[in-house]
Amino acid sequence: MASEETLIVDCDTGIDDALALLYLLGDPGVRIGAVTTVFGNTDPETAALNTLRVLELVGRSDIPVAIGASHGWRGTRHLAPDVHGADGLGGTNLPAPEAAPSTEPAAELIVRMARQDPGAVHLLAVGPLTNLAAALQLEPELPRLVKHVTIMGGALRHPGNVTPAAEANISNDPEAARIVLRAGWPVTLVPLDATMTEAITEQQRRQLAEFGTPVTTFTAAILDQYLDFYARHAFGERKAACHDPLAAAIAVGDVEPLLAPVVPVDVETGDGPARGTTVADLRGQYRGFPADEGANVRVVLRTDGTFGARLVDRLCGREAVARGAA
């Protein structure tokens, strides 16, 4: 990650958001300036408490956590207790965190930090995009102030995961997603096309449990329900997609995509069966980047399939040990 960058992580802290935060917090070279929460995997208040639990686990209670939108642009929301548990963290029912969330609303925090340090803020959004759309309404100049936006969301050539064509983060607020993707700032989109090919397995979950640190024990515990869900509904075996952690790794430059064209992207906001579909013109993907006039989003379509092992190594602290030995 560029040393001058400050991450604001906008998330709906369920299981894979927690993994993404732990991945980032495991690298002392990554500067997280704040975390903002939104509805999605759980409600934004629970997401904020879960975030504080993760931060306290690694001694980073200094990072502010701000609560954001509780519903989408149209006033609707869909939560995912079947995937992430009623508490958002796999039904582990952890004690309440000692710290409390900030009283500053998420969108206002995003705008304030971008104004304070123009060109330094990198927004990493791994939930519905309602907070980012609200921040754009508060500050129309935000695209000029923000360095980059990385989004986990969408499905292009891959099936959706909440409808045949729509992915959950985009589907939860298509209007906000359209606003964000059309805002004119540099965007990297990490859709299901990439994240469903990067998995963490039951064997790796056991490795984490056996490693026995507070971080790995916590991670193994929250992964138990997550792997069950994916075994029943996706893979037929106990392994789970690395959605948010992969987006985090791409945001800080740890994973270099194998295919990531810059193409025009839009979102279907109608009321029919295609609502929430991410529409990308991929016809020019092999002609060089950017491909066409109107190309506005770098879309990650393929990575190398080895991220699960990298994630486990990071959570176990093995990368840091290796760097120290070198």
Catalytic residues: 243
Instruction: Identify the residue whose tokens are 């760097």.
Output: 323
Distance of alpha carbon 161 from alpha carbon 234, whole angstroms: 9
Rg (CA), the chain: 18
- The Cα 326–Cα 249 span in angstroms is 22
- Report the C-alpha gap between 163 and 87 in whole angstroms: 24
Cα gap 4→122, rounded to integer Å: 10
Tell me whether residue 3 is exposed, middle or buried, using C-beta atoms within 10 angstroms of its C-beta: 0 to 12, 13 to 18, 19 or more.
exposed
**Distance (Å) of CA 106 to CA 11, 36, 57, 266:** 11, 5, 23, 25
Give CA–CA dist 129/242, Å, rounded.
19
Contact 12, 47 (CB under 8 A): yes
Which helix (H) or strand (E) segment is 58 a member of? none
As given in the structure block, the two tokens for residue 128 are 């519905």
Q: What is the secondary structure of 161-190 as a DSSP string?
A: SSSSSB-HHHHH-HHHHHHHHTS-S-EEEE
- Name the one residue in this structure whose structure tokens are 């006033």: 75
Q: What is the dihedral of CA 284, 289, 294, 296, to 10 degrees?
A: 120
| Residue at token pair 């989004």 | 151
Q: Which two tokens stand for residue 41?
A: 């995997």
For the record, the structure tokens of 76 come out as 């609707």
